[in-house]
Structure formats: C-alpha cells, structure tokens
Homo-oligomer: A and B are copies of this chain.
C-alpha cells in the first residue's frame, strides 16, 4: 500500500509543467483565440518533442508504454494553464483505445506511431458529449455509432462549428455515415471500449478541473494580496480568506479521488466506474466553487474580459459538464450504492482485500 507517485512520475510532470507554465501563459492563450484554428502547430510540436503524445503509445509502436496513472498529473498541469490544445483528449483518451486495437488492426498501429511522432492528430467523439472537440485539426476521427467505433478520415465527414462560451474550445457537430470499411470494432467489445473511453474522458476532465481550480485560487490569492481597499489588502478580510479556504478544502479532498481513479483505470479497469465518477463529481464541485469564489473575490475586475480569470472559469464551466455531467456520474454512484451487495465500509476503501 503506497498512495504516492514515484519520483520519476513527479519529475516528468515537473518538467512538462515548467514548459507549460512558461509557454502557455494567459497571453499565449488569448493569442490562440485569434488564430483561425485556435490552435498553435508550433506548440503542438513542442509537446510532441517533450514526448507527451507518445506516453501512452505502446513501446512496440514507438511510444513510451506508460499508463493513465503516469499521465494524470500532466492532465492536471494542462488544467493549471488552461491549455487550448487537445493533449488530454489525444494522449489520454484516444491513444489507449487505438492501443487496444493495434495488435489486430494495422490502421491503428500505424496511426499510433504517427501520433507519437506528431505526424498525425486524432479527435474522439462519444455519446456523452454529442459534439467533438478539435475535429477541425484532426487527421482522423474516432466516432461511435451504436455499439461500433469507427475510424474516419476528416475529409469523409462534414464539420459544423459550434461556438462555446470558452473561446479556447473548438467544438463540432460531425455529419458522417458509418460503413464497414471505417468500422474498427462492434458488439459487446465496442460497448466495453466505449465505456472505457468515457472513463478516461471523465478522468482527463477531472484532472483538468482540479488544475483549473488550483490556478483560480492561486490567481485570486495574488490579486487579493495586491489590491488594497480601506488601507489594507482586501485579502486580509476574513470573508475572502474563508472563500479561498473553502476552495482549498474542496481541492485537497478532490485530489486523492482523482489519483485513485487514475490508478483504478490503469490497474483495475473493471472497478473504474465508481472511482472515476467520484473523481469527476468531486473535481467539478471544486472547480465550480473555485470559479464562484474567485470571481466574487476579484470583484468587478473578475467580471471583465481583460482579467485572465475568465479563461479558467469558462473552461471549468464547460468541462464540468463534458464527459458526463454531475448528474450522470452521481447516478452511477447512486446505482452502485443501492446494490445490497455493494462492498462498502471502513475496510473496503480499496476493495475487498482480505484473502
């Protein structure tokens, strides 16, 4: 029993985090809003060079052969800077799906190799979302159709852009028709893979939500320490201190649920639904509270476009409802709890482990 990350995991995360903090500043995010695609090819290539798109690609396909637990801290770091690029969806959500199929499907194998090197990009759709993020910059789309999953070249679909409140997000309704050629998998296996995809999607969203919450608290602490009213920093008012302390409590207790979810997805995927739903709900609550208390603590400044806070708030509002909204995830928890045979109680935090 050891609920810590390894030094390697922490070190790798730190190096990526430093890159992100330096390159993906609020100014850089705003700059990407002005681009037609909203995406910086240069930044994507830098991320590829850091190896992050290759992390979950199996070694035999030129990747690093790592897992979701290795990636979760990076996903959190992506949230901390509100990264516009679809790194989490690509590396954490889509890649493991391709990896599962790559042994028997050369299209997936070849695509994986090119994701690792940055030559190809993919986008991924799921019934939980309706819309597909970043389909416009993808070479291929992974799309569900009933119990099937299809791999469709972008030039075979029609994309209709959908404007989000978050100018960083690029969402698309996808018009396409399934055919035998594009079908990767179907039947019960398709259902299982779609379910696993949802769990990875929700895990990635939860990680980013916690990162966003942390960033908002940090910004707000700084703002309220600098801004003076009545001859003292506004952050010295107990009401604002308690706003931030309440966020800290939510964040600190969402984190371990996130890490447990990442562990469970990578090591015990059959038990992942419960762990992932818990993390998604907890992370969403932390991020929504951080948004609410941060704008309130900023006062009128927080309500402006020029204050960077909204970059983070809007992402939080969007991700809270992406890859399954709170109601969906709470209802999964509820169903699970209502089972009279549910394994719950003090000795079952990590499942039934008495031999």
Contacts and interface: CB of A to CB of B under 8 A. Distances in A.
Interface stretch (A142-150, A191-199, A234-242, A337-345): A234-242
Contacts of A238: 237-239
Interface string A174-199: 00000000000000000000000000
Interface in A235-252: 237-239, 242
Nearest to A237: B238
Nearest to A239: B238
The copy count of this chain in the complex is 2
A230 to B, nearest CB: 12
A239 B239 CA distance: 6
A239 B238 CA distance: 6
Contacts of A239: 238-239, 242
A238 B239 CA distance: 6
A343 B239 CA distance: 40
A296 to B, nearest CB: 13
Nearest to A242: B239
Contacts of A242: 239
A238 B242 CA distance: 10
Contacts of A237: 238
A242 B239 CA distance: 8
A237 B237 CA distance: 9
Nearest to A238: B238
A46 to B, nearest CB: 46
A38 to B, nearest CB: 41
A243 to B, nearest CB: 10
A352 to B, nearest CB: 35
Interface string A215-241: 000000000000000000000011100
Interface string A37-56: 00000000000000000000
Which of A237, A238, A242 is the most central at the interface, judged by chain B CB atoms within 10 Å of its CB? A238
A329 to B, nearest CB: 24
A238 B236 CA distance: 11
A242 B238 CA distance: 10
Interface string A236-276: 01110010000000000000000000000000000000000
A242 B242 CA distance: 11
Nearest to A240: B238
A229 to B, nearest CB: 14
A246 to B, nearest CB: 11
A156 B204 CA distance: 69
A312 B7 CA distance: 56
A270 B153 CA distance: 65
A239 B240 CA distance: 10
5 contacts: A237-B238, A238-B238, A238-B239, A239-B239, A239-B242
Nearest first, the 5 closest Cβ-Cβ pairs linking A and B are A238-B238, A238-B239, A239-B242, A237-B238, A239-B239
